[in-house]
Structure 1
Amino acid sequence: MTDMREGKGSCLCGAVKVLVKNISNEVGACHCDMCKKWTGGPLLALDCGTEVSFNGQHNIAVFDSSEWAERAFCNKCGSHLYYRLKEANQHIMPVGLFDTEIPLVFDHQIFIEAKPSYYHFGNKTKEMTGEEAFAHFAPPES
């Protein structure tokens, strides 16, 4: 079960501060090609939902990485800030941004078929292919 609470954090230089009203405690790893290119490895992130606010927004640069999502970073220090699903306004944010002490659990990996063979996590997690992840996380059709 997801434990939700408030999360606070910032980029490396402090130019962007973030407040999340309902941060998940479930850490996930994404092994997709875009995340690997963006982070230099897997993206370790938390689902931060839609209630996310930023202080220092003029320091945020946004890149439209696909039709349905965008990625943002601090234009001062380069810290990755979020992956946002545009239609749902859902923010997936790097776990390392947060200063808030919350009990985290690493419980899932997505795009497992794209994970390179040179690293392995020791944790037992739920593993989903890209297709399974899109089906699981897709917003309901209206």
Structure 2
Amino acid sequence: MPDAEPLPGRCLCGAVRFTAQPKHDTMDVCHCESCRRWSGGAWMTVECEPDMTIGDEGALGIYGSSGHAERGFCKTCGTSLFWRMRDGSLLTVSAQAFDRPDRFRFASEIFVDHKPGNYAFANPTQKKTSAEVYAEFPDIAG
């Protein structure tokens, strides 16, 4: 998928439209408490190249959710759109905000040890605990 064209997407009300270049054809899920509270469920995300294009940056809100990351959302309708490292090294975009979210295969789940017991996915996925995620990305441990 890296050679494909950037894909379009938008928030619920359409005030924030974007194009982003997925790095893979897969969707990942984060079960950490911050992502669950922010998205209203498990955060379904697609890792993208950092040069996302936003149509109307004035409609975009940014929330600094930690010392290392920030989250983008629509100021009008509140749609959760992306999570990114402040240094620009990693960008994940809401899989469901893309115009065709069904193009992404569900591949992995992270922070599975933080997942509450009131839901579970039937798909076979790679699963990582918080310790495994922090070992892979020591800059976000904290």
Are the structure 2 counterparts of residues 16 and 114 from structure 1 closer, same or farther at C-alpha, using a change threshold of 3 Å? same
Percent of aligned pairs sharing the same letter: 30
The 1:107–1:62 alpha-carbon spacing in structure 2 relative to 1, beyond 3 Å, is same
> How big is the shift at 1:51?
1.9
Match of residue 16 from structure 2: 16
The aligned amino acid for 1:15 is: A
Question: Hey, what does 1:41 align to over in structure 2?
Answer: 41
- Cα distance between partner residues in 1 of 2:7 and 2:41: 24
CA shift in 2, pair 1:74/1:34, >3 Å:
same
Tell me the matched-pair count: 137
Query: TM-score scaled to structure 1, two decimals?
Result: 0.88
User: For residues 51 and 75 of structure 1, what CA distance do their matches in structure 2 show?
Assistant: 21
Compute the displacement of 1:102 (Å): 6.5
Distance 1:62 1:77 in 2: 14
Distance 1:23 1:100 in 2: 16
| Superimposed CA distance per residue, residues 67-115 of structure 1 (whole angstroms, 9 cap, x where no aligned partner) | 0000111001111111011123421111111114763210100000001
Cα deviation for residue 136 of structure 1 reads 2.7
Match of 2:113 in 1: 113
Q: Distance in 2 between matches of 1:108 and 1:22?
A: 15
Cα separation, partners in 2 of 1:40 and 1:103, compared to 1, 3 Å: closer
* Greater mean deviation of Cα atoms: 17-26 or 49-58: 17-26
Do residues 96 (structure 1) and 96 (structure 2) align? Answer: yes
Q: Is the 8 A contact 1:22 1:51 kept in 2?
A: no
2:136 alignment partner, SS class = helix
User: Superposition pairs for residues 1-142 of structure 1, below 5 Å?
Assistant: 3-4=1-2, 5=4, 6-100=6-100, 103-137=103-137
Alignment RMSD: 1.8
> Structure 2 length normalisation: TM-score?
0.88
Distance in 2 between residues matched to 1:28 and 1:138, nearest whole Å? 19
